Amino acid sequence: MTATDPALTALAQGWSALALLHGRIEAHIERALQSRHDLSVREYSLLDVLSRQHDGEGGHLQMKQVADAVVLSQSATTRLVTRLEDRGLLERYLCPTDRRGIYTNVTAAGLELLDAARPTNDAALREALDEAARNPELAPLVRVVESLKVATAA
């Protein structure tokens, strides 16, 4: 392939459109969460991921798993956990079966904030997708995202 190869150009354009859609959605949700709940998208995502943990086998996530789920490095995730812990939204404790392991749970205050923020997140996501669907370049990607939502809900 050369730099002027139509297939390479199409791939680059598709990637650019996907990055544009992601950026617009994230920015829209960020503004909504910040203005109404003083939460960033990453903070919301972290609370959401950690709120889904349970006490059964494999129910608690290791920090690497949490980092992968919120799409951050482990060090950035640890800093984010610390910030939310300082706000009283998360708490850490030693794993009862492996004292080297540290678990992180959402506090009652964190769950309350998450519950309050979830409708804001969901509405902002819907608004951002609706806006993007009006853009001919982004509309096909919106349809794919919406089809994934339906496929996973079934």
Domain borders along the chain are 20-153
Q: Topology of domain 20-153, per CATH?
A: Arc Repressor Mutant, subunit A (1.10.10)
Mapped onto helix, strand or coil, the DSSP state of residue 125 is helix
What is the pLDDT, as a whole number, of residue 154? 46
* CA distances to 51, 65, 134 from 142, in Å: 28, 28, 10
In sequence order, what DSSP letters do the residues of 53-114 get, joined into one string? --SSTT-S--HHHHHHHHT--HHHHHHHHHHHHHTTSEEEEE-SS-TT-EEEEE-HHHHHHH
Per-residue pLDDT of the chain (154 residues; tens, 9 = 90+): 555 788 888 888 989 999 999 999 999 999 999 999 999 999 999 999 999 987 777 778 888 889 999 999 999 999 999 999 999 999 998 877 777 778 899 999 999 999 999 999 999 999 999 999 999 999 999 999 999 865 554 4
DSSP-based three-state secondary structure for 143: helix
